[in-house]
Structure 1
Amino acid sequence: MDLRAHKKPLVTCSLLALLGLTVAPQSHATDSPYLFGDWNGTRTRLAEQGISFDFGYGSEVAHNFTGGTKQITRYTDQWKLGSTLDLEKLWGWSGGTFQVMLTNRNGRNLGADANIGNNQLIQEVYGRGQTWHLTVFALDQKFFDGKLDWRIGRLPVGEDFASFSCDFQNLTFCGAAPGNIVGDYWVNWPTSQWATRIKLHTTDQTYVQIGAYQINPNYVNDRWARRNGWKPDFPGGTKGALIPLEFGWTPIANGLPGSYKVGGWYNNAGGSDLYYDVNHEPLAITGGEALKRDSRYGGYLNFQQQVSGVAGGKGTTVFFNATQADRDTSATDRQIAMGMEYKGPFERSNDMVGFAIGASHANSRLAEYQRLYNQFHPATPGLVKNGYEYVSELFYNWSPIPSINLRPNLQYILHPGGTRQNSNAFVFGLKTSVAF
């Protein structure tokens, strides 16, 4: 295991855990959701006045026992620094809140460094540039006793549309699934775009929402992010808008909560066709300019239901996610994931077990292009990806105190990248989170 380049972050992670176990006062260790407690009551007083904070640290270690061209260990992490202002408590602004969140990412990507060839990140917290990001900078305004909710500012799409938890370490099971397959314009955490979203609660258990998000290639450019990712500015180069629409239902079945979402999206900036040139001839033969498609689009389902135990507490929750993108422009055109989580095993209410399986499909139109290209360019052939990348993950979450979670996991990646030409990968991971 190549640990020399990672001693510093590993030591940092260990010290954070040690702080929570040995330094924090006993009352903090057993009661507080924050490692450093209530700041002698200051945190509660500020919250009562309308100022709350969200400070946290997360890290992900991964080591591949099989797969790739070498067996190595990689570490990546993220710091988050955020605050929410209740404008009604502060200034009498009824129904208004303002949120700001900054994140900082560092580390290395196991999949790339070990040449595993995977499409979905083994360490989901890696990506979007190892630098500072302005993740949220937004005003939220409620009307008509909360029935209508309007949000505007710098926002990640996945916070509001197709939103999903990030308990697993593999990206297949983390966050809004559309961002996993069309991430060049559907932007998830920690990157944001200027956007607006309107949500209408049609009943106590149903809602409909629509949004408009700026499409600008700069936001997904790591080089640009290193210089400008933390700035609330308006960069040039906007190409159009991403418009998502979602219908949601949050029923209570036998006293247990559920969440059911159906949505779709439309991108009016368009994109390049994977197979044809501007004359509708195969790109692989002509080498010309790709055909410009006027739009990009897709749809998703997101089902989550607690099926046993106590509502919101100990018990089993199951989930199913399915996403389909247009085949003309999307290199990965669909993803399916399903799994379960069980909270409170072994009489430990803060602990959890999770298991999931998923598949991401490499677009066959891109495979057709690659086959044709290889035929006409035998000296520089490329890898043909024309199937599913299958992923499974099993984790156990140990929470020694409420503010710390240590989550060892096992991942198995079958046909990384959607091709049998890449060796299957067996990975050990450790996902850690600390709330300050």
Structure 2
Amino acid sequence: MHMVICAPEAPANSLPNGSLGDDASYALRASAQHPSTTMTGDWGGARLYLRNKGIDLAGAWTNETAGNVTGGDRHTAAQTNQLAAIMDIDAEKLLKWKGASFNFTFTTRWGSNLITRAGLYTLQQPQEVWGRGQTSRLTQLWYNQKLGDHVSFKIGRLPTGADFDNVPCLTMVNYFCGATTGNMDGNRWLNWPVSTWGGLIKYNDPRWYFLAGAYEQNVRNLDNKFFLGYVHGATGVLLPFETGLRIHLGAHHYPGVYRIGGWVNTASAPDILLAANGQPAVTGGLAMLERGSTHGGYLWFQQQLTGTFSEKPGQDAVVQQGLTAYVTFTMVDKETSPVSSQVTGSLRYLGLPWRRHDAVTLAVGTNHVNSRLATLDWYQAGRKGPRRDSEFAIETDYTLQITPWVYIEPNIQFWVNPGGYTQRETVTVIGMKTGFTF
């Protein structure tokens, strides 16, 4: 397996030129606990000394380069980068504070976006690490406290997608990387690297878990600059909840995780179709009707089908070798969101006969443009041409684990009906994702 580091508001009558809500699953702390898998090693024994004291340090750099060979307004290429640094503190080791831990994570991003450079019109990003401003951010600053064997709570600066709807980052396309809700509805659900003041409580049993949280809704968190966090400007509260079941299937007891979650946001949001007078905004530039709250929900299934695995009580099993299937289904608020639903399915085979740490992934997904927005666009275009519908994304990639601390991931992407426009040419993207763990 490899570790990866892995999104401003559009007018009410249009979709953004690519979702700006990007995310990934972040497991950098594992590299600190196993320094032999990192580029910089044990630092002459200093890393081991700090770890024994309760301080784990790690970092990673991710580069994503992509170019379109068909589709778009022009054929070009773009590259984008992210550098991340993490410090985990085991307060029980360091301060004799039973069950307590702290985390500090800092990220910086730079580069360019293929959607903008090539005029692709896709609903989400071909480069998942791009987005949320090419800037430096305090991404995490939290305190976690265990209360006995099953209950814990976490408070501080948190990306919502780090704990809720946290889908593994399998590819370079946003569809299959990180919290799907944040990728679709990124103004109300903030994914990595953006954080907000919030907290959650979790009950965790070896077979199932439940967690619920509360996060400040404040668009100032999207400001393109480094900051600790604002204490003014909140417009509401995001209230997510999730439960998951860990099961084993078949004679080989292959592990699976089956999750269901949802959320309510108490902040108001503009309607996607209706103007303030309650009528369709068939003329552009009208003030939109404000809705009092928004909501959504998601399902996520992960099931190993062949191979071997390892697991610890109260944690999801880790695939060591074999084929695993992933399925997601996400729905967001149809009154206020440009995209109403997303479905994805992925197959990943880890541990090839000739390269036991390499992997092959095939992923397919679709985003459905909100029919209310499609109708409004059609009326504003003079009832000409087909209405926008669904976009389809396909990616296949090969993960080549060159050393324990560096991988390269060549991939090819196909975007059918980009932006939900059936008349647009299919976009073909050739990409390369590269990661280093320090």
Name the TM-score, length of structure 2 as normaliser. Answer: 0.87
CA contact (8 A) 1:367 1:384 kept: no
Which position in structure 2 is the counterpart of 1:19?
A: none
- Aligned match of 1:258 in 256, 259, 267? 256
Distance 1:47 1:31 in 2: 10
Distance 1:165 1:385 in 2: 33
CA contact (8 A) 2:328 2:344 kept: yes
Which position in structure 1 is the counterpart of 2:168?
A: 165
Is 2:296 aligned against 1:305? Answer: no
How much has 1:236 moved relative to structure 2?
2.5
CA contact (8 A) 1:117 1:422 kept: no
CA contact (8 A) 2:327 2:346 kept: yes
Which position in structure 1 is the counterpart of 2:94?
A: 90
Tell which structure's C-alpha radius of gyration is larger.
1
Which position in structure 1 is the counterpart of 2:402?
A: 400
Distance 1:58 1:40 in 2: 25
Which position in structure 1 is the counterpart of 2:144?
A: 140
Which position in structure 1 is the counterpart of 2:269?
A: 271
How much has 1:218 moved relative to structure 2?
1.5
- Aligned match of 2:293 in 292, 295, 298? 295
How much has 1:280 moved relative to structure 2?
1.2
Which position in structure 1 is the counterpart of 2:133?
A: 129
Using a 3 Å threshold, how does the CA distance of structure 1 residues 365 and 289 change in structure 2: closer, same or farther?
Answer: same
Distance 1:338 1:317 in 2: 11
1:375 is paired with a residue of what secondary structure?
A: coil
The letter of the residue matching 1:114 is: A
Is 2:155 aligned against 1:152? Answer: yes
Is 2:340 aligned against 1:333? Answer: yes
How much has 1:47 moved relative to structure 2?
0.7
Which position in structure 1 is the counterpart of 2:218?
A: 216
The letter of the residue matching 2:355 is: R
CA contact (8 A) 1:332 1:362 kept: yes
Is 2:103 aligned against 1:99? Answer: yes
Using a 3 Å threshold, how does the CA distance of structure 1 residues 385 and 133 change in structure 2: closer, same or farther?
Answer: farther
| Structure 1 unaligned spans of 5+ | 1-29
1:380-428 deviation digits (Å, cap 9, x = unpaired): x9x9762111000000011111111100000000010011232211111
How much has 1:286 moved relative to structure 2?
8.3
Is 2:264 aligned against 1:239? Answer: no
2:125 is paired with a residue of what secondary structure?
A: coil
How much has 1:374 moved relative to structure 2?
2.3
* Alignment RMSD (CA, Å): 1.7
CA contact (8 A) 2:220 2:230 kept: no
Which position in structure 1 is the counterpart of 2:354?
A: 347
1:51-85 deviation digits (Å, cap 9, x = unpaired): 00120000100011101111111100100011000
Which position in structure 1 is the counterpart of 2:179?
A: 176
Distance 1:181 1:384 in 2: 23
How much has 1:257 moved relative to structure 2?
2.4
- Aligned match of 2:373 in 362, 366, 377? 366
CA contact (8 A) 2:242 2:262 kept: yes
Share of identical aligned residues, percent?
35
CA contact (8 A) 1:362 1:385 kept: no
How much has 1:367 moved relative to structure 2?
1.3
CA contact (8 A) 2:197 2:229 kept: no
CA contact (8 A) 1:61 1:75 kept: yes
The letter of the residue matching 1:64 is: N
1:233-289 deviation digits (Å, cap 9, x = unpaired): 324221101101101112233333221110011011021111112221121248542
More helix by share: 1
Distance 1:101 1:286 in 2: 42
Distance 2:387 2:435 in 1: 35
1:16-57 deviation digits (Å, cap 9, x = unpaired): xxxxxxxxxxxxxx9921011111222122111100012000
- Aligned match of 1:422 in 406, 421, 424? 424
Which position in structure 2 is the counterpart of 1:206?
A: 208
Distance 2:158 2:422 in 1: 38
Using a 3 Å threshold, how does the CA distance of structure 1 residues 384 and 362 change in structure 2: closer, same or farther?
Answer: farther
Distance 2:197 2:387 in 1: 34
Which position in structure 1 is the counterpart of 2:200?
A: 197
1:348-403 deviation digits (Å, cap 9, x = unpaired): 22111101000011111011111222229xxxx9x976211100000001111111
Distance 1:295 1:31 in 2: 46
The letter of the residue matching 2:97 is: W
1:168-216 deviation digits (Å, cap 9, x = unpaired): 0000111010011111111111111111011112x32101110011111
Name the TM-score, length of structure 1 as normaliser. Answer: 0.87
Which position in structure 2 is the counterpart of 1:315?
A: 322
Is 2:62 aligned against 1:63? Answer: no
1:134-186 deviation digits (Å, cap 9, x = unpaired): 111000111112x0110000111111101011120000111010011111111
Which position in structure 2 is the counterpart of 1:409?
A: 411
2:130 is paired with a residue of what secondary structure?
A: coil
Distance 2:42 2:424 in 1: 50
Which position in structure 2 is the counterpart of 1:7?
A: none
Using a 3 Å threshold, how does the CA distance of structure 1 residues 403 and 326 change in structure 2: closer, same or farther?
Answer: same
The count of aligned residue pairs is 394
Distance 1:98 1:62 in 2: 36
CA contact (8 A) 2:35 2:47 kept: no
CA contact (8 A) 1:274 1:329 kept: yes
Using a 3 Å threshold, how does the CA distance of structure 1 residues 206 and 33 change in structure 2: closer, same or farther?
Answer: same
Which position in structure 2 is the counterpart of 1:78?
A: 82
Using a 3 Å threshold, how does the CA distance of structure 1 residues 152 and 39 change in structure 2: closer, same or farther?
Answer: same
Is 2:36 aligned against 1:32? Answer: yes
CA contact (8 A) 1:385 1:417 kept: no
Using a 3 Å threshold, how does the CA distance of structure 1 residues 184 and 216 change in structure 2: closer, same or farther?
Answer: same
1:279 is paired with a residue of what secondary structure?
A: coil
